Structure 1
Amino acid sequence: MDEEAQRNVSRLVSQAGQMLLQHGAESRLVSDICCRLGEALGLDSVEISLSASSMVITTIHDDHCITTARRCPDRGINMRVITEIQRILIMTEKHLLDKDGVKTRLNRISPQRYNRWLVAVVIGFSCASFSRLSGGDWSVFSLTFVASFIGMVVRQEIGHRQFNPLLNFGVTAFVTTLISSIGAMMSIGNQPYLAMASSVLMLVPGFPLINAVSDMVKGYVNMGIARWVMASLLTLATSLGIVGAMNVTGIWGWL
């Protein structure tokens, strides 16, 4: 492998790692896939350093090192991208793909998403189901569905316009709580406060929190702390949105 070939392989490894980090993969998975992909393509070893929004990769072949850095802005959790890169890695290790095949496959990956209206409806039903399981009647169920459905549509619209996630969560929580508090103001259902509590469950940052704990347990403490702080800030923004809506309506019952 000459220097130009090593440089091309380094670009492929960094591209794969960048896509993994952008779409929510845990740090150990990013590191393992980059190292295994580089070795499968002929490198002696791959060293990788991760941070919350960037990565630095050094590839080594015959004592010659090439180091490259990549920015990794968040593009939302998408497990399809992660599983596709894992398939590419397995095919490369089995010698079914060379570096040209890997490049073609990586460039072909697109983060396909579900229909936005389907997502909003499913989110509405999931939050409404929590209210029902907690003892709410069908009126509370219906109110929770409407509030969470509208809240999810607001969240999608703000996200589509590339606003800050903290602003997104805060505004979504405000709108959702504002709508669900109508039940308490008008005494809809047997436990109207359940709608206020259940409709904002869609804003719990579960995946970032799980990744944060996983990273810290597996030795990537800096990444884990960064993800934990971001998840905590999202929770704080959600809380501020809820409290703001309660100040407007004067409904504080479920707290």
Structure 2
Amino acid sequence: MTDPADDTTDFGYQRVPRGEKSRRVGAVFDSVADNYDLMNDLMSMGIHRLWKHFTLELAAIRPGERILDLAGGTGDLAAGMARRTGRSGSVVLSDINGRMLARGRDRLADAGVAGNLEVVQADAEALPFADASFDLVTIGFGLRNVTDKPAALAEMKRVLAPGGRALVLEFSKPAVPGLDKLYDLYSFSVLPRLGRLVADDEDSYRYLAESIRMHPDQGTLRSMMEDAGFERCGFHNLTGGIVAVHRGYA
């Protein structure tokens, strides 16, 4: 349980003042933005595309729906959503980091995804949208970087229309015996070296590995979603629990 008097939070394995985390996370993503898509492919050996495809299938998007993609980065999920909801619907691609958001906007424009897409720079903890504005809210590989996760989940619930659904795609805790040791070896030996060789930034990728270990496990995150007011919460483990997709309904 968090001590109310403790005004610090995790930044990887470090403890930092709560007000400092967003600045440090911002610096990480400013650094990795230019190589973000390439590094995603290298780090996951392309499997991140399957995780995102599964998330889109689980979303069961219908034409005409209003969708918000938080921490949307370079727009992988938003592109798939825009195709599924069609011209009669709308997708808001949102991220707190302006550099990541600019790359996402340019990437989607180059891919011809523009007609039903809006780009908004926003903090997931204080969304600039009215109550019940969306049918679906997603956050992919972004919740672990949020300083106040309960606040972000509460905001996701607030902006969902009654019956709307939320999806959280995030790294989680391996559920296959022995996989955690292999995963740790890969995360702390291979990923920082890849970061150094490809992006000339070992520290940012070490932080990313550490932030995964500090993120709530599957059951804890499900409880956090329930505490935020979501109903029928559950999760699907992918790749042995290395990644999980949580779903809840408003």
Tell me the TM-score normalised to structure 2 length: 0.28
Greater strand content: 2
The one of the two structures with greater contact order (alpha-carbon pairs below 8 A, sep at least 6) is 2
Greater helix content: 1
Structure exhibiting the larger radius of gyration computed from Cα positions: 1
Tell me the TM-score normalised to structure 1 length: 0.27
